[in-house]
């Protein structure tokens, strides 16, 4: 079993749609959780950290359920510029290495 598993993609949605990404992780000792965004042939960029209390940044909402070892990302009012691969990431090990899911590709069309 992979340490971090994400919804297989791609997600093809029209502008203005709401889209949800789901992710599960296997290591209950993981301490930090993130969503990274990666554009084609570019480096991953931190989108947002994820907290148990849930957190929101504009159109983006992230949730963490430690009991279920489940992480989600909700994007409201999708824009063309949201088209990218979204990577679910947890930390592991004493020095918090990043453990990535395979990513879910989002394509927003007019």
Partner 1 sequence: DAGVTQSPTHLIKTRGQHVTLRCSPISGHKSVSWYQQVLGQGPQFIFQYYEKEERGRGNFPDRFSARQFPNYSSELNVNALLLGDSALYLCASSFDRGLAGYTFGSGTRLTVV
| Binding residue (CB under 8 A) for partner 1 from 8, 12, 15, 31 | 31
Min CB(109)–partner 1 separation in Å: 22
Ramachandran sector of residue 34 (left: φ over 0; alpha: ψ -120 to 50; beta: rest): beta
Cα angle value 61/18/8 (rounded, 5°):
85
Contacts to partner 1 from residues 42-81, by CB under 8 A? 42-46, 49
Min CB(49)–partner 1 separation in Å: 6
Nearest CA to 90 out of 65, 107, 56 is that of 65
- Binding residues (CB under 8 A) for partner 1: these are 4, 31-32, 34, 41-46, 49, 87, 91, 93-103
């Amino acid at each position: 079993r992979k340490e971090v598993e994400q919804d297989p993609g791609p997600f093809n949605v029209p502008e203005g749609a709401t889209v949800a990404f789901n992710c599960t992780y296997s290591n209950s000792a993981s301490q930090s959780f993130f969503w990274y965004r990666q554009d084609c042939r570019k480096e991953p960029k931190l989108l947002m950290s994820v907290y148990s209390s849930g957190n929101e940044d504009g159109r983006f909402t992230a949730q963490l359920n430690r009991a279920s070892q489940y992480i989600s990302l909700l994007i409201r009012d999708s824009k063309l510029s949201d088209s990218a691969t979204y990577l679910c990431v947890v930390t592991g090990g004493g020095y918090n290495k990043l453990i990535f899911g395979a990513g879910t590709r989002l394509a927003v069309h007019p």
